[in-house]
A and B are shown apart, each in its own frame.
Chain A
């Protein structure tokens, strides 16, 4: 029993060790590539909590990416360590999400989706207008970070935290309640689940994860302005990656973010103008053919193949 558990964990340990070794052995380019992938993983898991598990499809979680980025940049400018700045950015975004959630989460379905799109626009406008805090459209320049390894390790830690958090979430009563809200909010409410509280907590956790990633990336690129703080491309990619892998699943965002992230890095270099179009087409195909995402569909497929023929036949009759 113990042995099989060890065997099951072994590949993960190997993968983790490999990821830990990357920044010390691989070239700067490869490390930067892995950093991007880890960021995609983190963002996809962040989005998955509010949109995948709770069913509130957000087209604007990138708003919190910018909040984290700005908080980190402003604090770093004042001499605070970037890691502390990023964590404070997460805290600020988390608190902000609680306040915003009180309003935004009253919107349902398409209204929430459009509302989050609008919220991002609002943040871009505010970042441009609040010149004293954000330095307006000029942006904030930070000293060149030259700290790829610590940035990488921080992002690795964040991605791991998001994954492990999701594993626990998936099995917890909290996670079950989120899924109940997704399936039927009124029914969940009538069963005594205080849906508003759970939705806001999920929204806030999602915001914290996305915001810390935003802070770390801002320190890494040493610059932030209203355009780079709320990148439309990231907003799209986190949705697509989670949906591709399987929204509301534990491993979906990981599969989606790593596979599509690799494709993104390849396409980005070769077709800088077209890769978002290709992404859109991928999203279209997923929704039409495997709307539940790769992970659940692949799981079903393997399970069906693995079953003995007799059982499969009897299943077909039933």
Chain B
């Protein structure tokens, strides 16, 4: 095979971006779920990811669990925290104007981020050890990245299955479509909202736990990742799960391309510009139909 060097490099960068996109897709699905069911923009989503990452890290280190087992522990812990946050905080402002829930979750984000900074300090942590690769021609696939991508993808598909094929998913979708009608049909919408939020934070935790296997993260990671998740959701079209999947891939690739060909610090700038350009020119997302 005679592939020119620059082309192989480009392909490699794109593959790396797609592999990261698997985790992004999962995380964005959690944000989408909460927005769909509760009609609340969870601005603390990135901090729930961070808490998941730090919990997985701490559990893995203290109890000697494998990173994958630690991910499940983090998911359970964060589901509990999410359920409590929803029941005692978000539920109380669910019928208030948007800015009230926004400020409330802003406060939650502040407490989580600065609390975590107090507990763990600003040092970066990572669970990644394995750097073995599969080589296919001029391309190399880090095994760990492939595994994380597969897990992210698998969990996203599991969520879709849960939403589409189960009675629980049906109650979530019904509440998302019309809260009052769902309630009139005998669905306990208060409970559904709590379940949706808990599921959303558990998903955030799992994606955080997967990220800490790939990169070094610290308690401030939320401020970047909340933006990334919103960018993904926006690029894909709000509320659309398949759109968010495409959005995650686009953001992942855009990011790695910027890091490779320009500068690492500029990758967040690219994400933000995509967010802005899509919101201004195609508010329904790149795949969406007409603007709403």
Residues of A within 8 A of B (CB): 55, 57, 59, 103-104, 106-107, 109-111, 113-115, 117-119, 121-122, 125-126, 128-129, 232, 236, 239, 243, 273-274, 276-277, 279-281, 283-284, 287-288, 291
**Chain B window 12-42, contacts with chain A (Cβ cutoff 8 Å), 1 for yes, 0 for no:** 0000000000000000000000000000010
Which listed residue, A115, A232, A243, touches B276 by the CB 8 Å rule?
A115
CA distance A110 to B39 in the complex (A): 11
**Do the beta carbons of B110 and A280 come within 8 Å of each other?**
yes
Contacting residues, chain A, for B271 (C-beta < 8 A): 118
Some 11 contacts from A to B, beta carbons below 8 A apart, are: A117-B223, A117-B227, A118-B272, A121-B224, A125-B265, A274-B114, A274-B118, A277-B111, A277-B118, A280-B111, A284-B111
**Chain B window 206-237, contacts with chain A (Cβ cutoff 8 Å), 1 for yes, 0 for no:** 00000000000000000110110011001000
- From B106, which residue of chain A is reached at the shortest CB distance? A59
**Do the beta carbons of B111 and A287 come within 8 Å of each other?**
no
CA distance A115 to B118 in the complex (A): 27
CA distance A239 to B107 in the complex (A): 10
Contacting residues, chain A, for B107 (C-beta < 8 A): 280-281, 283-284, 287
- From A287, which residue of chain B is reached at the shortest CB distance? B104
Which listed residue, B99, B103, B280, touches A106 by the CB 8 Å rule?
B280
Shortest 8 CB-CB distances between A and B: which pairs?
A110-B41, A280-B110, A280-B111, A283-B107, A276-B114, A118-B272, A273-B118, A284-B107
Residues of B within 8 A of A (CB): 41, 43, 89, 92-93, 96, 98-100, 102-104, 106-111, 114-115, 117-118, 223-224, 226-227, 230-231, 234, 263, 265-266, 268-269, 271-273, 275-276, 279-280
Contacting residues, chain A, for B93 (C-beta < 8 A): 287-288, 291
CA distance A129 to B231 in the complex (A): 22
Which listed residue, B108, B114, B273, touches A284 by the CB 8 Å rule?
B108
**Do the beta carbons of B111 and A57 come within 8 Å of each other?**
no
A308: min CB distance to chain B, Å: 33
**Do the beta carbons of B114 and A129 come within 8 Å of each other?**
no
**Do the beta carbons of B279 and A128 come within 8 Å of each other?**
no
**Do the beta carbons of A288 and B106 come within 8 Å of each other?**
no
- From B224, which residue of chain A is reached at the shortest CB distance? A121
**Do the beta carbons of A283 and B263 come within 8 Å of each other?**
no
Which listed residue, A121, A243, A274, touches B272 by the CB 8 Å rule?
A121
**Do the beta carbons of A110 and B269 come within 8 Å of each other?**
no
**Do the beta carbons of A281 and B100 come within 8 Å of each other?**
no
CA distance A284 to B102 in the complex (A): 11
Contacting residues, chain B, for A118 (C-beta < 8 A): 227, 231, 271-272, 275-276
Contacting residues, chain B, for A109 (C-beta < 8 A): 41, 98-99, 102
**Do the beta carbons of A280 and B100 come within 8 Å of each other?**
no
- A114-B41 in contact given A121-B268, A239-B103, A276-B114 (Cβ < 8 Å): yes
Contacting residues, chain B, for A117 (C-beta < 8 A): 43, 223, 226-227
CA distance A281 to B107 in the complex (A): 7
CA distance A287 to B94 in the complex (A): 12
**Do the beta carbons of B102 and A110 come within 8 Å of each other?**
yes
A264: min CB distance to chain B, Å: 13
A268: min CB distance to chain B, Å: 13
- A291-B96 in contact given A110-B43, A117-B223, A125-B265 (Cβ < 8 Å): yes
- From B41, which residue of chain A is reached at the shortest CB distance? A110
Contacting residues, chain A, for B43 (C-beta < 8 A): 59, 110, 113-114, 117
**Do the beta carbons of A284 and B104 come within 8 Å of each other?**
yes
